[in-house]
Chains A and B, each alone.
Chain A
């Protein structure tokens, strides 16, 4: 019985007010997710780990790692965070929050903007946000690597991953497998 409750409701026993806050925060982040859901990771971490203490730093990074190791869109990491914070109710809150606002906006904007693609306004919009996207992704990378601290082994794992992705055509799965082995063996 209690296992079922944990599955539905999560290990922390969150209440209605908490779910509402979770939904609201992910709704806000959905609309700010320029360049994809992954750019909102630093703010999610600030909210879930720093502000509420629902997860530890390492648990938070682990959620994203798990989603990366499974097939499917990267945005599914929000479902894993939702599950670890609030069970299936948490999944519902984070998934609806992440998907609904941006989806409505995408359909609306695509219907509206299809014919205005070359206008100065649309081009300024694209060019103005592009560097922001890159900066937010650098922050995301550092937030995910950060909790492990800087050691030669961590730096080596990061360098190996960068080499694999930038210099070879191999699947990222190889890097994830290497990380899993290095972690299980206690090297990083």
Chain B
């Protein structure tokens, strides 16, 4: 009883639906920063530590990170119903919005200004991904395989995928397995 009263928690799947709906609609250029602010600071459903652990688990598993985070959080609270509520809340509103934009863009993309704007935004979209990669790369300093080997894996993966254009399945299975083997070996030393 003290446990229940000392920390806020969603009371029903509907709570999860609306919380994730609200945070998703605020997230321009990515939802994770907003998710942290809403779930930890405003609602207090998770501690900072909870959030970090949940996030790293969501990042390691394949699939969209923030969707995985909602699924796991919802599943822990209310089982499958909770997982569905969180993900539906997160995706439904933004999906409708983005499709309206897509329909409009198809109508008008032959206008030079619209085509140009989309091209300019495409360049920025690429640069945004690069900036995330640079931020994440700083976390490699503490990687179990050691920085030089980790950097080598970064370069090989980037070249195999971006330049040689190998299919992702070979890159992930090949380099992923090799990376795990190296990390396993270094962790045992």
Interface set of A (CB-CB < 8 Å, partner B): 7, 11, 28-38, 40-43, 46, 50, 58-59, 61-76, 79-80, 83-84, 91, 95, 98-99, 101-103, 105-107, 109-111, 113, 117, 120-121, 123-148, 154, 157-158, 161-162, 165-166, 171-173, 175-176, 178-188
Contacts and interface: CB of A to CB of B under 8 A. Distances in A.
19 contacts: A30-B63, A32-B62, A66-B102, A69-B28, A70-B94, A73-B31, A74-B64, A98-B64, A103-B83, A131-B145, A132-B179, A140-B126, A141-B129, A142-B126, A143-B126, A148-B123, A162-B134, A181-B120, A183-B119
B4 interface: no
A100 to B, nearest CB: 10
Given A129-B180, A135-B156, A141-B129, 14 more contacts: A36-B64, A66-B102, A68-B125, A76-B94, A80-B101, A105-B63, A106-B58, A110-B61, A125-B60, A131-B140, A134-B137, A138-B133, A161-B124, A173-B28
Given A61-B119, A65-B118, A106-B58, A138 B154 contact: yes
Interface of B: 24-31, 53, 56-68, 71-72, 75-76, 80, 83, 87, 90-91, 93-95, 97-99, 101-103, 105-106, 109, 112-137, 139-140, 143-145, 150-151, 153-158, 160-163, 165, 167-169, 171-172, 175-176, 178-184, 187-188
B116 A70 contact: no
A72 to B, nearest CB: 2
A137 B61 CA distance: 16
Contacts of B113: 184
Contact of A130 (B80, B106, B139): B139
Nearest to B181: A128
B101 A42 contact: no
Contacts, number: 393
B134 A128 contact: no
Contacts of B126: 61, 140-146, 158
B122 A58 contact: yes
A74 B35 CA distance: 13
Given A141-B126, A144-B125, A186 B116 contact: yes
Contacts of B93: 72
Contacts of A154: 123
Contacts of A62: 105, 109, 115, 118-119, 121-122
A179 B120 contact: yes
A111 B75 contact: yes
A71 B97 contact: yes
B130 A162 contact: yes
A172 B99 CA distance: 21
B62 A30 contact: yes
